[in-house]
Chain A
Amino acid sequence: MLTKLAGGRLFDPANGRHGEIADIWLRDDRIAADPGPGATPDAVHDVTGKVVMAGAIDIHSHIAGGKVNLARLLMGEEHDRHRFAGHACGCDRIGGDRIGGGSGIATPSTHTTGARYIEMGFTAAFEPAMLGSNARHAHLEMSDIPYIDTGGYLVLGNDDFLLDLIATNAGQAAVNDYVAWMLTATQSLAVKVVNPGGINAFKFNARSLDLDEGGPYYGVTPRSVLTVLARAVYELGLPHPLHVHGCNLGVPGNVATTLDTIQAASGLPMHMTHIQFHSYDTAGDRKFSSGAAALAEAVNRTPTLSVDIGQVMFGQTVTASADTMAQRHTAPLAHPRKWLAMDIECDAGCGVVPFRYRDTSYVNALQWAIGLELFLLLDDPWRVFLTTDHPNGAPFTFYPELIRLLMDRDYRLAKLAEIHPDAPAHTTLGSIAREYTLAEIAIMTRAAPARILGLADRGHLAPGASADVTVYSDVPDRRAMFERPDLVFKSGRLVVRDGVLVAMAQGCTHVVRPGFDDLIERRIARHFDERLGLPIKHFRIQDAEIRHGAGPQLHPCRRREVP
C-alpha cells in the first residue's frame, strides 16, 4: 500500500522542518522516501494548506491497570451518563470490527480510550504507574486499547525488596541488577518512583515523610531512594530518565521540596512529572500561592531535567495514584464523597479519590493558573510535555482546550478573568505574553516525547519512521483544530477522517530490556518464595503474553558510568 499526502505544511521538528511544504509518502506501515516520478500511489490525499504532523504522544496518562479499573467502578454515575455504542467502521450495522464502544470520560473504557485518543490525532499514550505486582493486569488492559501504542513505567522505590537492598548496603550494582530484572520480568519501558519511601512508610503508619526523613522501618530517606534509582536508570542506560513523582504532592509550600529534589538528582538526568501539583508556595492570607516562577527558573537552568505539567482543568474527574499517603490527605475533599485505598503486595499501593475542580474555588483556580504559568515560563519545549496527568488534573480529552490556552493569549486572559477573583493576584499568569507556536506544539507533543522515551521511529516524519501521521486544518480556533483532525493514519492505515473513526488498527507495546547479572535472581527468588508466596516463574511475563502473542517492541539501552 503506497499513500501520498500531497502539498501539506510539515511541522516535523525532529527533522528541522517548521512549516515547509512537502509531500509525505507512506509505504505500508512506514514513512517512505519520495519514490520519484512514475510512482503510482494507491491513494493520494491533497492536503494543500493543511498542517501535517507525526502522531502525537502522551508520555503520562493513567489509562490501564488496577487503579484505573477501580476508578471506573467508583465513577459509576459518570459511566451511566456517558455510554457509547460500538459501531462497525463508520456504519452501525452488525458485522465487522466493532469500534469505539464503551463508556466514561475521566475513566474511559479501553476501546473508548483508544477512540478518543486517535480522534485527536494521538497515536501513543504511556501508562506511567505500573506496579510490578499488577503488571500482567496492566498489559492485558493495554492490549485491549485499540489504535494507540502503549507501554508502562514500572513503579519502584516503595517495594520492600529495594528498600531492603538500600538499607543493607547491598550496593549500586545489586540495585541495578534488580531494576533491570524487574523491568524485564514486567515488560516495562521506564522506571517511575512515586513518593519515594512514603507509600512504604504509610504501611508502617507514618502519615508524612519529608525528603531527608528516614522511613519508619528501613531508616532510608526519600533522597537516597531517589538518588539510588536515578543512578540505576542512568547506569543501565535506559532511554527515559527516572520518572519522578516527588514527595509532598499537593501540600502548600511543597515547591521547596521540589527544588530540593532537583538538587538531590545532583546532575543525573531526571524527569519530574505533574510538577503543577508540586509548585505550591504559602504566600498570602490563605497560605496558598504559586511557586511556579521559582520552579520554572530552576528547571530552565538545569538542562538534565525534563518535566510534564499535570494541568488542572475545571470539571469532574477522579484522581488515581499509587501515592496512598497523599491520597489519604485528599480523601476528605472527595466529590462525590467516596474514595478507596489499597496497600499492595509489599510493592506499593493505590488511592482513588473522585474530585471536582471548580473555577470558583480559590485553590482550584490557582492550580489551573499555576499549570499554565509553568508551561509559559519554561523556555525549552524539548523539556516540557503536555499532560493533565490524566485523569488526575483533567481527562486527556481537554488537550485541545489546553493547547488553545497556550497558543492564544487573548483567550487565556478572558478565561483568567472568569476564575475566583483572588486567584490572579497570586500568580504571574496575567503578565505573561507568550503564545506557543505550531512548531513548539509539535515539539512538545511529538518530537520531544519520542526523544525522551527513546522511540527512534516515532514522533517524526522522516523515511523509516512509523507511518503515524495527523493532518489538521489550520484554523484560528486552535481548540477546534486539535479536537478534530482531518486525517489520522496509524501504521499507514487511514483510521480517522474528519474526526470520525473509519477503520480499526492496533498499536504495539514498547519495552526496554537492560541486561543483568543473574546472580540477583537467587535473592529475588527467595523474596518471592518467603514473602510473596509465589514461585518467581509465575511472576515473569513472557513475550507471548504481550498483545495476544504479537510480543513487545524492544528499545536499546546503552550502559554508561556516572562521571
Chain B
Amino acid sequence: MLRPMLGRIVAKIASVLESFGLTSLIPLRRLGAMIFHPDTLCPFCGLGCGDIGIDRDQSGIAPRPSGCPQADRLFRRPIAVPTDARLGGAAISVDDAIAEAVRLLGSSRAPLIAGLAADVEGVLAALSLAERIGATVDHERSDALFRNLAILRRFGWSVTTLAELRNRCDLVLVVGPDPAVAFPRLWERWVVPEPAFVPGNGRSVVFLGGEPLPETVRCLGARVETSGLDTGTQTDLATLVGGLRTALAGRLTAGDPMAVLAARLRSARYAVVVWAAGLFEGPQPDLIVEGLVRLIRTVDGTTRCAGLPLSGADNLIGANQACGWRTGFPLRTGFDGGGPLHDPDRFDWRRRLRDADVTLWISAFRPDAPPLVTGGKVIMLAPPEAMVTPEPALFIPVGTPGIDHPGDVFRADSVVALHAGALIDRGLPSVVNVIGRMLAALDQTVKTREAAGC
C-alpha cells in the first residue's frame, strides 16, 4: 500500500526536479519505484520531438508508445550493460583502451574519424583530435546532406523551417519518396495541426514522384490531393521536376496535369516543397535538388514558396554545423600542414575507409553500425549494446546523448539546436570524455618526448 504511493510521490518529485534539469539528484533506483519522464527530447531522427514519455525502473528505461518506431526502439535501454572496453574481443579497462587508441592514432599515417554520430561537444572534440593527428572527418549519413550541400554551395537556396511549415503553409508539395520513412512523425507533428495563418485553416499535400506510406495516408486523410500525374516509379524524378518547371514557365497546355499543379503552386499563399534527398534514387540526385531550388525561386518571385530539405538523423546537421564553425568547411574535411582542407569526394568516409590505416568510428546514438570494410584498424566508440561484426580492433563503450548524459543536437531543418537531458547513469563515458582523455594522453606523450629531447 505504502510502496505504490511512495512511488507516485517520488515520481512527482522527480518530474519537478527534472523540469529544473536536476535528474541526477534522483536516487530512486534503490526505492524500486517506476519513474515517468514526460516530455523527453528525442535526439534520433532529427525532427526533435520533445514529447516522448519514458518509464524508468530498476531494469532500465522504456518509452511509452510514441508513434515513432525509432524512438520506440532506441529509447529502450537496459541498465545492466558491460562497461569494459574490448581489445580484439577481450575485455580491458577503458583506461588501457584509451592508451591503446592513442598509440594507434598517434602513429597512424592516414587516420580517419568517421561515423561522427555524437552530440555537438563530442563532434568538436573529434575535430580537435582530427586537427591534432591530421585525420579527415565525415558523418555516417552525410550522403543525404551532400546532395543538398552541393547545390547550396554552388547556387544557394530559399528554405524554411518546421514551425513555418506548421503555421503558414497552405500547400505542401512532397517530391520523391515519402520522407516519413526517415522522419516518422513529420506529418503528425508538422502538417496535421491546424495552421495559424492560413485562412480557413485548410491545406493540401501533393505527392510528386512518390507515393505516401499507408500510415501517411491515414494521418493526413483528406489533406492528400491527387495531382492526376503518373507519379509511379516508372517516371524518374528529374523528368518530373523538369516537367513542372516547364509548366511554370508557361510552356505546357492549360489542361495538362503538370500545368494544373504549376497553377496550384502559383496560387498558393505559402507553398513548401519538402524533400529528403537521402531517399532519391538514380544518378546525380543533386541535379534534382538544383531543379527544385530553381523551381522554388520561380514561384517565390510572385507568391511565397520555400523548400524544406530534410536530412539529419544522429545529429548529422549538428556535426556539419560544428565542422562549419570550427573549420569554415562542411563535413568531409581534413587537416594538412596548411590548415583544414575540404574535398566532398575524396574525403567521403566510404572512400577514405579503403586507404585509412586507422579509423576511429563514433556511433553514440544507436547500437548498430554499418559493416566497415577496411584494411586498417578500427577503433569504435559505440553504446555497449552494439552488435558489431567484424569485431573491431578496439571497442570503447560510450553513452548515448539524451539517455546517459546531456548533449546538444540539431534538428533536421538546421536552425534549432536542442539540449537533450540525461535519463540514467550506467557508468558510461560520453564521447567528449573519451576523446578528451585521448587528447590529454597525446599531450602527455609529446611532453615525455620533449623531456627526453626527441
Contacts and interface: CB of A to CB of B under 8 A. Distances in A.
A90 interface: no
A438 B410 CA distance: 46
Interface in B153-174: 153-164, 166-168
Contacts of B340: 83, 101-103, 109
B338 A85 contact: yes
Interface range, A side: 35 or more
Contacts, number: 200
Nearest to B164: A343
Contact of B163 (A93, A111, A352, A533): A533
Contacts of A347: 163
B304 A73 contact: no
Given A85-B338, A103-B339, A136-B419, A345 B163 contact: yes
Contacts of B121: 548
Interface string A133-166: 1101100110010000000000000001000000
A108 B324 CA distance: 10
A556 B325 CA distance: 31
Interface string A531-547: 11111011001101100
Contacts of A41: none
A104 interface: yes
A85 B337 CA distance: 6
B419 A542 contact: yes
B156 A74 contact: yes
Interface string A319-363: 000000000000000100011111111110000100000000000
B341 A137 contact: no
A527 to B, nearest CB: 10
Contacts of A538: 39, 41, 48, 50, 418-419
B51 interface: yes
Interface in A508-563: 530-535, 537-538, 541-542, 544-545, 548
Contacts of A107: 328
B328 A340 contact: no
A80 B337 CA distance: 14
Contacts of B160: 342-344
Contacts of A133: 161, 163, 415-416
B159 A83 contact: no
A80 B163 contact: no
Contacts of B379: none
Contacts of B442: 94-95
Given A95-B442, A98-B128, 7 more contacts: A133-B163, A204-B304, A346-B168, A531-B196, A534-B416, A535-B39, A542-B419
12 contacts: A86-B131, A109-B326, A134-B415, A203-B164, A339-B156, A340-B159, A341-B159, A342-B160, A342-B415, A343-B164, A538-B41, A548-B121
The 10 closest A-B pairs by CB, nearest first: A95-B446, A103-B328, A83-B339, A109-B328, A136-B417, A340-B156, A338-B156, A79-B328, A345-B163, A137-B417
Interface of B: 19, 21, 39, 41, 48, 50-51, 120-121, 124, 128, 131-132, 149, 152-164, 166-168, 189-190, 193, 196-197, 269-270, 303-304, 306, 321-322, 324-330, 335, 337-342, 408, 410, 414-419, 442-443, 446-447, 450
